[in-house]
């Protein structure tokens, strides 16, 4: 059923640094990745592409689903990250990822927001998720780490 199938288009390219100059070449072919995972009618809003534990992963930045990227265009759900301490119903809005000490570290935008409906401070984006190779998730509140980054940026 195509109405429940979501596509993300990948363009392949190469960025080369040569002295003080950069050149970018983009291949003409596109690769389409498909998923039927959705939330409120949205799907395949991929925010990151990262190699971890011998596999290629991508993260749906709105729903917190980490997919294994399979050759041929399939996205296989691996784990789902939840907001805050991991015990919330909403998916984690993942915006970046890196690998450190054999862990996949996934973070959000790193700032709190005012919820216009409740007038409460929403701190969900101040958490990061540390994921082991087996998929165990440790939720870490990173307010002080994000503050250090903001302070360093002026």
Annotation: binding site for Ca(2+):
47-48
Strand, helix or coil at 55?
Answer: strand
For 119: left if phi > 0, alpha if psi spans -120 to 50, otherwise beta; the answer is: left
- Adjacency order of strands within the sheet including 103-107: 96-100, 103-107, 127-131, 137-141
- 3-class DSSP string for 84-114: CCCCCCCECCCCEEEEECCEEEEECCCCCEE
Q: Which residues are annotated as a binding site?
A: 47-48
Residue linked to tokens 């290629």: 56
- Is the separation of the CB atoms in 137 and 122 below 8 Å? no
Alpha carbon distance 94, 3 (integer Å): 25
């Amino acid at each position: 059923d195509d109405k429940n199938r979501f596509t993300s288009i990948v363009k392949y390219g190469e960025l080369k640094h040569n002295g003080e100059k950069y050149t970018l070449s983009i291949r003409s072919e596109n690769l389409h990745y498909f998923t039927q995972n959705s939330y409120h009618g949205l799907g395949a809003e991929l925010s990151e592409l990262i190699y971890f534990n011998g596999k290629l992963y991508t993260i749906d930045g709105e729903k917190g689903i980490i997919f294994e990227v399979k050759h041929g265009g399939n996205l296989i759900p691996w784990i789902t990250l939840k907001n805050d301490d991991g015990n919330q119903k909403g998916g984690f809005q993942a915006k970046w990822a890196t690998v450190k000490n054999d862990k996949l570290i996934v973070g959000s935008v790193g700032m709190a927001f005012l919820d216009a409906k409740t007038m409460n401070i929403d701190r969900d984006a101040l958490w990061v998720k540390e994921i082991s190779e087996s998929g165990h998730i440790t939720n870490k509140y990173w307010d002080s780490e994000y503050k250090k980054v903001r302070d360093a940026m002026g």
